[in-house]
Amino acid sequence: MSKSRELHPVINFGLVPLLQLILAFLVVGLLIVLIGENPVQAVQLYVTDVLMSQVGIGQSIFYATTLIFTGMAVALAFHAGLFNIGGEGQGMFGGIGLTFVALIFMGHFTGGVGFDLPGFIIVPLLFIAAAIGGAAWAAIPGYLQAYRGSHLVITTIMFNAIAFSIILFLLTGWFQNPDNPGDPKSPLLPEQWWLWKVGDYYQYRLVDLEAKYKAFKDSGLSVPEIRDQNPAFWEARAQARSMKNSAANVSFLFALLVAVGFWFFVWRTKWGYAIRSIGFNQTAARYGGVNVPRTMFMTVCLSGALAGLASTNIILGNGSDSEHVLRETGLVGLGFVGIAVALMGRNHPFGIVIAALLFGSLFQWGEVIQLKGQFLRPKLNIDKEIVVALQGLVVLFTGALSLMVVWAVRWVAENLLGGVGLAKEIETGERA
Partner 1 sequence: MEIFELVFSLAQSTLRFTPILIFAAMAGVFSERAGIIDIGLEGKLLIGAFVSATVAHYAGFGLVGLFAAMAVCMVFGWLHGLATITFRGDHVISGLAINFLAVGLTKTIGHSLFAKGGDTPNLAGPDSTGWERLQSLIPKQVLIDAFPGLESNKALLNVLSLHGWLIALAFIAVVLTWFVLNQTRFGLRLRFVGEEPQAVDTAGASVVAYRFAAVTIAGALCGIGGAYLSTSNIASFTPKMSADMGYLALAAVVFGKWRPFYAMLGCLLFGLLFALKNRLNSVNEGFLVQIPGQLFEALPYVLVVVVLAGFVGSARAPKAIGRPYVKERE
Partner 2 sequence: MREIAIELSGISKSFGPVQANKEINLSVESGTIHGIVGENGAGKSTLMSILYGFYMPDEGSMRVFGEPLDFNSSEKAIEAGIGMVHQHFMLGEPFTVLENIILGAEGGFMLSGAMRHARETLLDLSERYGLTVNPDAVISSLPVGVQQRVEILKALYRGAKVLILDEPTGVLTPQEADALFDILRSLKEQGTTILLITHKLHEIMDVTDRVSVIRRGEMVGHREIAQTSPEELAEMMVGRKVLLEVDKTPAQPRGTALSVSGLNLVDDRGVQRLTNVSFEVKAGEIFGVAGVSGNGQAQLLEVLSGMEAPTSGTITIGGEPLGRTPNEVRLQSMGHVPEDRQHMGLVTAFPAWESGILGFQASALYCDRGAMKTGLIKEEMGRLMEKFDVRPPNPLLGTAKFSGGNQQKIVLAREIDKAPDVLLVGQPTRGVDIGAIEFIHRQIIAMRDAGTAILLVSVELEEVLSLSDRVVAMFDGYCSDAHVTADMDERSLGLLMAGEFDRTQTGGMAA
Interacting residue with partner 2 among 92, 285, 340, 387 (CB under 8 A): 285
DSSP secondary structure, 163-219, as one string: HHHHHHHHHTTTT--TT-TTS-BPPPPPGGGSPPBHHHHHHHHHHHHHHHHHHHHHT
As measured in angstroms, the least distance from the Cβ of 292 to partner 1 is: 17
Interacting residue with partner 2 among 212, 273, 323, 332 (CB under 8 A): 273
As measured in angstroms, the least distance from the Cβ of 139 to partner 2 is: 22
**Residue 36 partner contact from partner 2, partner 1, none using kind-dependent CB cut-offs of 5 to 8 Å:** partner 1
As measured in angstroms, the least distance from the Cβ of 291 to partner 2 is: 8
**Residue 207 CB: number of other CB atoms within 10 A?**
10
Query: Is 269 one of the binding residues for partner 2 (CB under 8 A)?
Result: yes
User: One symbol per residue from 160 to 179: x for binding partner 2 (CB under 8 A), - otherwise; what is it?
Assistant: --------------------
Q: What does the alpha-carbon distance between residue 207 and residue 200 come to, in Å, rounded to a whole number?
A: 11
Q: Are 390 and 25 in contact (CB under 8 A)?
A: yes
Query: Contact positions toward partner 1, by CB under 8 A?
Result: 31, 35-37, 83, 85, 140-141, 144, 148-151, 153-155, 157-159, 161-162, 164-166, 168-169, 172-173, 336, 339-340, 343, 381-383, 385-393, 395-396, 399-404, 407
Which letter does DSSP use for residue 401 in this model?
A: T
Question: Which one of the spans 1-9, 222-230, 332-340, 378-386 is the region binding partner 2 (CB under 8 A)?
Answer: 1-9
Q: What does the alpha-carbon distance between residue 141 and residue 158 come to, in Å, rounded to a whole number?
A: 9
As measured in angstroms, the least distance from the Cβ of 343 to partner 2 is: 18
Radius of gyration over every alpha carbon of the chain, rounded to an integer in angstroms: 25
As measured in angstroms, the least distance from the Cβ of 345 to partner 2 is: 19
DSSP secondary structure, 289-355, as one string: T--HHHHHHHHHHHHHHHHHHHHIIIIIT-SSGGG-S-BTTTTTTHHHHHHHHHHHTTT-HHHHHHH
Interacting residue with partner 2 among 291, 293, 376, 414 (CB under 8 A): 291
Nearer to partner 1 among residue 245 and residue 303 (C-beta)? 303
Query: Is 322 one of the binding residues for partner 2 (CB under 8 A)?
Result: no
As measured in angstroms, the least distance from the Cβ of 86 to partner 1 is: 12
**Residue 280 partner contact from partner 2, partner 1, none using kind-dependent CB cut-offs of 5 to 8 Å:** partner 2
Cβ-based burial of 335 (10 A; exposed 0-12, middle 13-18, buried ≥19): buried
How far is CA 31 from its chain centroid? 25
As measured in angstroms, the least distance from the Cβ of 174 to partner 1 is: 10
Q: What does the alpha-carbon distance between residue 320 and residue 202 come to, in Å, rounded to a whole number?
A: 13
In the complex, the residues that contact partner 2 under the rule CB under 8 A are 1-5, 264, 268-271, 273-274, 276-277, 280-281, 283-289, 291, 425-432
